[in-house]
Amino acid sequence: DAMVIQNPRYQVTQFGKPVTLSCSQTLNHNVMYWYQQKSSQAPKLLFHYYDKDFNNEADTPDNFQSRRPNTSFCFLDIRSPGLGDAAMYLCATSRDSGGANEQFFGPGTRLTVL
């Protein structure tokens, strides 16, 4: 089945220790997104790529970086995680960027910062 896969599902890191989250998709979609979602809050868009065209949201902290080496894979790097970065990180894809292009989400990676 075509899908969005995220690894790991659960990640525990120490304060200040870099961590990388990965996402892959078999949908062959052009657009990939990284969201941060905290409990009972709306998903917050961190980055999105249209193909290899990178778009950084204005309020995404410099502590967060992203890479999309090819169409299928996307990575989220958190250079120095703080306690406030503990959250669910959701990867999503869409066929295109406009109109009725629903986003398909992976299962998420829940990040704990000790």
The footprint of another protein (CB under 8 A) covers 40-45, 88, 90, 97-100, 102-108, 110
Work out the number of other CB atoms within 10 angstroms of the CB of residue 5: 14
Q: Which is nearer to another protein, 48 or 68 (CB)?
A: 48
In angstroms, the Cα distances linking 41 to 67, 82, 94, 109 are: 26, 19, 22, 16
Smallest separation, CB 16 to another protein (Å): 27
Smallest separation, CB 111 to another protein (Å): 13
Q: Which is nearer to another protein, 75 or 105 (CB)?
A: 105
**Is there a contact between 112 and 81 (Cβ–Cβ < 8 Å)?**
no
Smallest separation, CB 91 to another protein (Å): 9
Residue 24's nearest CA partner among 111, 106, 109, 110 is 106
Q: Which is nearer to another protein, 20 or 41 (CB)?
A: 41
Angle (nearest 5°) at CA 95 between 8 and 67:
45
Smallest separation, CB 18 to another protein (Å): 24
